[in-house]
């Protein structure tokens, strides 16, 4: 019987075409990965990869095994989801997108505690891709995250559509405007949200208008971006849900991109769990859905 971790190693090498990148993808050292592939080849009695200075390539035997390995891996993931299906209805394992404001999460937790509900929460803070992968593997029941067109398998429940807006210091010359143009910000120092889901689109938008921002901060902390604006040290671009009285949020002319925030579910059974969850009811109420 082939160990599951060996299949993961094999698929990582096949998909990356390089042992170094594959090792990073499965979070092991390259020697560990190489030893695992060698063990798999011994167990199968066949060489799976040809190795040279340019990388690795599947042998004919490796190509045949790849089809079966992907099928086995998919069945394993499906089994994990089935086994995880609402074994404890009093426990909600929820993933929350890291760019949902902390004050929003805090308010939801306070309200949930005030209910005196017997529902226990297990919260995972993560990025968009990480949460989707954990849903796929049945590691969490539901996620409050960005909803994409390809998320149909997670039975999305869209709760809100949010604009991306410029956050400006209160005394910024443009703080009183109903909207600003990208060109008007060319001389401002920018706080860059490195974790922003829309970062590529934002970069292209500014560059297309001849604006190449000078950065005062590059960070994965939304609070630090707000702090930069509060201090008058720079500007940033954030979802409008972060708006607060200490700064000014102003739309950017012609930047139409929005993000949809909603609930994604690991399976049909988890939809029913979400519908009966006191915490999810609070989430829906926060976004004006109940």
The pLDDT of residue 254: 96
pTM, whole model, 2 decimals? Answer: 0.70
Regarding whether 272 and 142 lie in a shared domain, the answer is yes
Regarding whether 213 and 151 lie in a shared domain, the answer is no
CA-CA distance, 180 to 127, in Å (whole number)?
Answer: 29
Regarding whether 181 and 73 lie in a shared domain, the answer is no
CATH code: domain of residue 131: 3.40.190.10
CATH code: domain of residue 42: 1.10.10.10
Give the single-character DSSP code of 60: H
Regarding whether 264 and 133 lie in a shared domain, the answer is yes
CA-CA distance, 95 to 237, in Å (whole number)?
Answer: 24
Residue ending a domain, choose from 83, 107, 133? 83
Regarding whether 139 and 274 lie in a shared domain, the answer is yes
Domain count, the chain: 3
Regarding whether 170 and 104 lie in a shared domain, the answer is no
The pLDDT of residue 17: 86
The pLDDT of residue 189: 96
Give the single-character DSSP code of 213: P
Residue ending a domain, choose from 56, 83, 110? 83
CA-CA distance, 54 to 35, in Å (whole number)?
Answer: 20
The pLDDT of residue 89: 65
Q: Which range marks the domain in which residue 271 is found?
A: 91-160+260-286
What Rg, from alpha-carbon coordinates, does the chain have?
Answer: 23
Regarding whether 174 and 131 lie in a shared domain, the answer is no
Regarding whether 218 and 272 lie in a shared domain, the answer is no
Q: What secondary structure, in 3-state letters, does the chain show?
A: CCCHHHHHHHHHHHHHCCHHHHHHHCCCCHHHHHHHHHHHHHHHCCCCEEEECCEEEECHHHHHHHHHHHHHHHHHHHHHHHHHCCCCCCEEEEEEECCCCHHHHHHHHHHHHHHCCCCEEEEEEECHHHHHHHHHCCCCCEEEEECCHHHHHHCCEEEEEEEEEEEEECCCCCCCCCCECHHHHCCCEEEEECCCCCHHHHHHHHHHCCCCCEEEEEECCHHHHHHHHHCCCCEEEEEHHHCCCCEEEEEECCCCCEEEEEEEECCHHHHHHHHCCHHHHHHHHHCCCC
Residue ending a domain, choose from 58, 83, 108? 83
Regarding whether 249 and 176 lie in a shared domain, the answer is yes
Regarding whether 187 and 154 lie in a shared domain, the answer is no
Those residues of the chain that have pLDDT short of 50 are none
CATH code: domain of residue 227: 3.40.190.290
């Amino acid at each position: 019987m082939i160990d599951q971790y060996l299949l993961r190693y094999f698929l990582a090498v096949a998909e990356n075409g390089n042992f170094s990148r594959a090792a990073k993808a499965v979070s092991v050292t390259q020697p560990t990965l190489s030893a695992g592939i060698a063990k798999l080849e011994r167990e199968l009695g066949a060489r799976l990869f040809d190795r040279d200075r340019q990388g690795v390539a599947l042998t004919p035997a490796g190509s045949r095994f790849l089809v079966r390995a992907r099928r086995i891996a998919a069945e394993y993931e499906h089994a994990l989801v089935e086994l995880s299906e609402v074994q404890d209805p009093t426990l909600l394992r929820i993933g929350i997108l890291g760019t949902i404001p902390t004050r929003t999460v805090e308010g939801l937790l306070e309200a949930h505690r005030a209910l005196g509900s017997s529902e226990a929460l297990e919260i995972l803070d993560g990025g968009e891709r990480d949460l989707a992968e954990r849903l796929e593997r049945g590691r969490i029941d539901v996620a409050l995250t960005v909803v994409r067109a390809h998320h149909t398998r997670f039975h999305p429940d869209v709760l809100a559509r949010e604009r991306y807006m410029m956050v400006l210091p209160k005394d910024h010359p443009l703080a009183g405007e109903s909207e600003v143009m990208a060109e008007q910000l060319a001389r401002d120092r920018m706080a860059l949200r490195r974790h922003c889901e829309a970062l590529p689109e934002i970069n292209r938008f500014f560059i297309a208008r001849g604006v190449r921002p000078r950065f005062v901060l590059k960070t994965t902390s939304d609070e630090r971006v707000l702090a930069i604006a509060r201090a008058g040290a720079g500007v940033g671009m954030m979802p409008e849900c972060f708006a607060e009285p200490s700064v000014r949020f102003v739309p950017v002319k012609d930047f139409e991109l929005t993000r949809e925030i909603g609930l994604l579910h690991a399976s049909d059974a988890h939809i029913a769990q979400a519908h009966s969850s006191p915490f999810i009811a609070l989430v829906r109420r926060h976004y004006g859905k109940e």
